[in-house]
């Protein structure tokens, strides 16, 4: 390939990278826009590689060359700022524990079409979590899990569905005031339950699995965003310590997830510790964090990690926390702005209205 053609190819890629970088700023909810919230890590790497090769391969003879490289550098900086909080260079948002006792949480999207149950069951035994959430649970998976898990999981909320949005929650700790709710439409459940940590301490869990913005699922992100904002307001209004767990079908750095955090006042275990990518287990390149455990300031970090492959398209996510309400103020988040609350209310209401029509 001659130099002119190669240089043109680099510029075409550069323009493409710039367009992808700008896509998340487009204020519409179509899937083909919102999908560009996801690949910031991949774009950071590819754009950095393009800059390096361009500088090595070509002499700069015109202002257009400098302008092109400057634009790509701006893209890299923007992309990296998105993922920087999830690197070891960033501060922790959930601080380290100061005590030995802990609460263990485990969430796994089993992938409804997956019929291989042995990997998941063996991992459940190893993780030995206090609370486990499974998504994409149909009757096959409900039966497989409930028959084989330890008898220590005396408290269960099972809501299997054939539409890939069934859920099941199992707990060693007593569950109180448990209910399955439908915040956006009557086919997408969420689990709301209080959990007795000790005789004098209770926490609130919200388990969710909103629809992804994908053409085969939902062409808009409206329903997902609405469910997340409704949960954010429920968490904000709760007087109890909060854990929100599940497959959010959204990355932690998207505008929606960041607004969810600001309004709910919840904290992200990943910040300062790593991406812990849970999807896609089928690809080594296109991976990002979709399964989350967000917590209120009463909780401290003990451990967090992705689980081993369970033949699903998701890796499980495991979080071990300590409950330390006496020092919660040390990591209290900033309150949301009036503009944040206004935007979140609009998003929460939009999904309800869309599904009434």
- 40 vs 347, residue with greater confidence: 347
Contacts 24+ apart (CB under 8 A), 47-52: 47/14, 47/17, 47/72, 47/75, 47/76, 47/79, 48/76, 50/10, 50/13, 50/14, 50/17, 51/76
Query: pLDDT digits over 262-299, tens only?
Result: 999 999 999 999 999 999 999 988 899 999 999 999 99
pLDDT of 332 > 60? The answer is yes
HSE (CB half, 13 Å, CA atoms) of 338?
0
HSE (CB half, 13 Å, CA atoms) of 355?
19
Can you tell me whether residue 286 is helix, strand or coil?
A: coil
Instruction: Give the pTM.
Output: 0.90
Could you give the domains of the chain?
Answer: 3-86 (no CATH), 103-352 (3.60.10.10)
- 138 vs 58, residue with greater confidence: 138
**Distance in angstroms (rounded) separating the CA atoms of residues 107 and 247:** 8
Can you tell me whether residue 301 is helix, strand or coil?
A: strand
Closest Cα to residue 14, out of 56, 74, 99? 74
Please tell me the predicted confidence (pLDDT) of residue 79.
83
**Distance in angstroms (rounded) separating the CA atoms of residues 235 and 267:** 12
Which two structure tokens, joined as six digits, stand for 206?
């919200």
Mean pLDDT of 139-157: 96
Mean pLDDT of 330-357: 86
Please tell me the predicted confidence (pLDDT) of residue 357.
47
Mean pLDDT of 154-180: 98
My answer on whether omega of the bond before 280 falls inside 30° of 0, hence cis, is: yes
pLDDT of 62 > 80? The answer is no
């Amino acid at each position: 390939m001659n130099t002119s053609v190669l240089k043109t190819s680099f510029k075409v890629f550069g323009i493409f990278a710039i367009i992808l970088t700008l896509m998340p700023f487009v204020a519409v909810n179509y899937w083909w826009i919102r999908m560009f919230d996801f690949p910031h890590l991949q774009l950071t790497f590819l754009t950095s590689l393009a800059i390096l090769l361009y500088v090595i391969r070509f002499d700069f003879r015109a202002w257009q060359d400098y302008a092109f490289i400057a634009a790509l550098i701006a893209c890299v900086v923007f992309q990296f700022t998105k993922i920087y909080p999830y690197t070891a260079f960033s501060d922790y948002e959930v601080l380290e524990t100061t005590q030995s006792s802990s609460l263990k949480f485990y969430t796994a999207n089993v992938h409804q079409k997956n019929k291989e149950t042995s990997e998941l069951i063996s991992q459940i035994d190893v993780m030995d979590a206090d609370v486990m959430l499974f998504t994409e649970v149909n009757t096959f998976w409900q039966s497989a899990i409930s028959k084989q898990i330890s008898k220590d999981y005396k408290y269960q909320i099972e809501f299997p569905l054939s539409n890939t949005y069934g859920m099941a929650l199992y707990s060693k700790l007593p569950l109180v005031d448990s209910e399955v709710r439908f915040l956006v439409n009557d086919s997408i459940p969420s689990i709301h339950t209080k959990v007795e940590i000790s005789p004098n301490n209770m926490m609130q869990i919200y388990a969710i699995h909103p629809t992804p913005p994908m053409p085969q699922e939902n062409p808009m992100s409206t329903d997902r965003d609405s469910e997340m904002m409704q949960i954010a307001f429920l968490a904000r209004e709760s007087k109890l310590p909060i854990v929100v767990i599940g497959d959010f079908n959204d990355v932690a750095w998207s505008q929606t997830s960041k607004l969810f955090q600001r309004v709910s006042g919840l904290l992200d275990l990943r910040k300062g510790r790593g991406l812990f990518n849970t999807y896609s287990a089928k690809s080594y390149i296109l991976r990002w964090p979709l399964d989350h455990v967000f917590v209120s300031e009463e909780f401290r970090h003990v451990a967090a990690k992705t689980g081993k492959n369970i033949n699903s398209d998701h890796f499980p996510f495991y979080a071990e926390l300590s409950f330390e309400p006496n020092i919660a103020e040390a990591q209290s988040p900033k309150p949301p702005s009036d503009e944040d609350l206004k935007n979140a209310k609009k998003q929460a209401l939009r999904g309800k209205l869309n599904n009434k029509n």
